[in-house]
Amino acid sequence: MWSWLTIAVVLTSFRGSELSNFSTEGSGDFPSPPVSLAEQLKFSPSVDDSLLTRNISKRAADFYNGIIDREFYTPFVLSRPSIPKTAVLAFDRPLQRGNAVPQVQYIGLWAPRGQPPHWGAIGLNSVGKLDGIFVKDGRIFNLSRPELINTPIRLLQYVGTADRNNFRFSWVRAIDADVATVVSEKKYGDLCSPRMAPAIIQDQGFEFLGEADIDNRVMYYVHDGLATKVEKDIYTTKVFLLSKTRCQCSCPLEIY
């Protein structure tokens, strides 16, 4: 049984870059060592073995608005979990964890009524059970907690074709991203609410899915059981944002 944690605010360094760790609550990150990749793939209908070696690419794109329609979300409740083939996989492949087992994670949106929305990760925990992890107000919240297990979450999905939709999803480094095209959500009816977007930090063989405040250029994610904030140079160079882009055959291909 996982216990609640309350950890004082601390400052730490992460591979030579400035990060801040906030007080946290919940069971923390998907624990290490995680279940095998084969076990993760069993619950992932949109993943196949080719994802282990396939590179991700992004191409130049025209201007598009980052708002997406309701059809690009599908309901998800942890007490009755179902992940469709259309669900969007973070980086379109298992996320790297250094020398540890890569982790399969999907993009979830948690929008408590009357509160700002938050993006997080949906994946298997160390005992092979689906769980969700989100950062809210500097604290970690896991969907496996009894009071949250029936909380409705929306999984991001891609339905239809790029020709029909006139766009596709791609991961763009923050320094190169046009924030107008980044997939984002904000508190309904609050013009001052920042736009929150799915984000991945990639650093020296480690990749973590979290969320970014694209108006204030900061990212929040969970690492070693701590809610972690990244900003400044590490945000612009090591954080990737999910964007709406349209591919052009003549555009140069960038591999990362």
84-130 pLDDT per residue, tens = 999 999 999 999 999 999 999 999 999 888 889 999 999 988 788 88
Lowest model confidence (mean pLDDT) among 122-131, 191-200, 215-224: 122-131
Q: Looking at residues 224-252, what average pLDDT do you find?
A: 85
State what percent of residues in the chain have pLDDT above 70: 74
Q: Is the pLDDT of residue 194 over 90?
A: yes
3 state SS for 154-218: EEEECCCCHHHHCCEEEEEEHHHCCCCCECCECCCCCCCCCCEEEEEEEECCEEEEEEEECCCCE
Q: Which residue has the higher pLDDT, 255 or 87?
A: 87
Q: What is the pLDDT of residue 45?
A: 60
Q: What is the pLDDT of residue 55?
A: 40
Q: Is the pLDDT of residue 201 over 90?
A: yes
Q: Looking at residues 52-60, what average pLDDT do you find?
A: 38
pTM of the complete model: 0.79
